[in-house]
Structure 1
């Protein structure tokens, strides 16, 4: 299969986003048919151009694989709260201990946000 214009458009949106996006958010930004968005995401993920993770009730987020992300995730509302702090020392120690070469990383902390606790 080849890299179609729709796939290029979807990849560009993901690459330019500072935060992971859902398929629905990508759909709204592209205007491309939602089923086309899902097929393109599957294609891009199979080729390791994008990664994904799921939270809460199956909400799936897509992100650039050549970057790293850090989020706190509210288990009630599903909102992502980005943070800058990185566990670089831990990652470096793990790479050395297990002879593992990091390509990217995703750090998720699950909990309940302030709004949902009220």
Structure 2
């Protein structure tokens, strides 16, 4: 997203585009799957005065604007990614901590059943499945 279009989105909400907001959005795009801490570290390399609270607040704002999404890949901080990125389901190994991605189509039977039986629409962009990866399973 260009700085001009981000500025326009912010102006519509009575906010302004700050260098910190721009840097945080750029960091999420560059890092891919980014925790607030990794975004903070990346931004501090370019602007030392940005604190972690600013990063958290900005990530929440960017999510409200539909520019980033978050998911929980562990018990720690959420992980953010660009909303432009293709949707995917995360597979998180509880043993080694590896994270892989699969096509969200694998969830279609579950999402259709939930819609049919409960009128519940699943946001597949936020799905993380936890288990044990093939490498760790073999090592057991």
Alpha-carbon RMSD: 3.1
Considering Cα pairs closer than 8 Å and 6+ residues apart, tell me whether 1 or 2 has the greater RCO. Answer: 1
Q: TM-score, normalised by structure 2?
A: 0.60
Per the TM alignment, residue 24 of structure 1 is displaced from its structure 2 partner at its CA by 0.6
More strand by percentage:
1
| CA shift digits 1:56-82 (9 cap, x unpaired) | 323310111122233211235644223
More helix by percentage:
2
Distance 1:39 1:89, change over 3 A: closer
Q: Is the 8 A contact 1:66 1:104 kept in 2?
A: no
Q: Is the 8 A contact 1:55 1:75 kept in 2?
A: no
Unpaired stretches in structure 1, ≥5 consecutive residues: none
Q: Is the 8 A contact 2:36 2:77 kept in 1?
A: no
Unpaired stretches in structure 2, ≥5 consecutive residues: 1-14, 45-49
Structure whose CA Rg is larger? 2
Per the TM alignment, residue 49 of structure 1 is displaced from its structure 2 partner at its CA by 1.2
